[in-house]
Amino acid sequence: MNDQRPGLNATRLARLMDEAVSRCQLDLQDAVVFTEAATGAYAVTPVLAALAGAERVYALTRSTRYGTVAEVADLTAALAAAGGVQGRIEIVTEKQRELIARADVVTNSGHVRPLDRETVGGMKRGAVIPLMYESWELRPGEVDLTACRERGVRVAGTNERHPNVDVFSYLGMMAVKLLLDAGIAVYRSQILLVCDNSFAPFIRAGLEAALARVEVTSALTPDVLNEEFDAILVATKPRAEATVGQSEAELIAAHAPGTLVAQYWGEIDRTALNAVGVPYWPLVGPKPGHMAVLPSAVGPEPIVRLQSGGLKVAEVLLRGAPGSADWEYVDAI
């Protein structure tokens, strides 16, 4: 692998993956896994499954603006070689029904989605779907839960706060990265965090560790706004209406002029913000429902932890006994 960006060398990623498999006691022995092959740190998912003993891993990929099929295949092969699991992973470019039918585990990963009625109907009974994130983060249209219940396919999310996963501890660093990219120094900056979910204490702790002054609210109202804020950090659960729409944009322009709106999660109306001269970041938004800053922005560690945690959920759904300690990894639907 020739990618020389810090944190993306095969030797280091192999070590991080070995540590994650050991930490989670991840065991997919003899299982067939259908997942994705992706770019950057997300390339670890099929390799983690193979390291955990999966009999066969089918990794679906396609060319995107982040990389071609050939580039993804080369990256996956390099990581597999570094981990000593070459030959156990097969790159595929279509969601082939016969492969879905073989799989014990089908991950709710980007290229594999949507897991709609047709896909679920082709899965064998007793197969499982790990969401690869916490269950409350499930977006509409990604997994047909009704079809899963009818088919006997078990579905669950990951307890990202489990000490062996611990992805939430990176949320604050991700906020710092987002704000630094937006030109906000964070140190001694005054930040209004708009958050209506479990991210709030972790984001706040990360910002305060960088000596920012942080106030937290679940919604933008005139009484929480003042012109002293350097940034308004939006980290709300996605919903149909924008967290910062026209009325909120006008409130910011009136009560906190010059304050930057930083989109972490949840929708912001860039047209409305432009109309009243409120700056925002990033300039181009993510797809609806998606985060504007990914865990990979701060390095591969949170991705390795997240993906190994998701695969541990698959293991527990396949083999774990309810009430066992391993069920602490599972965030039930």
Whether 175 contacts 206, CB under 8 Å: yes
Contact partners, residue 254, CB within 8 Å, separation at least 6? none
Inter-axis angle of helices 10-24 and 69-83, to 10 degrees? 60
* pLDDT tens digits, one per residue of 178-188: 999 999 999 99
Q: What is the largest CA-CA distance in the chain?
A: 61
Domains and CATH numbers, the chain: 10-165+299-332 (3.40.50.720), 183-281 (3.40.50.720)
* pLDDT tens digits, one per residue of 64-80: 998 999 999 999 999 99
The C-alpha atoms of residue 42 and residue 131 are separated, in whole angstroms, by 15
Mean pLDDT of 80-104: 96
Closest CA to 100 of 112, 109, 86: 112
Tell me the percentage of the chain whose pLDDT exceeds 90.
92
* pLDDT tens digits, one per residue of 9-58: 889 999 999 999 999 999 999 999 999 999 999 999 999 999 999 999 99
Query: What pTM was estimated for this model as a whole?
Result: 0.92
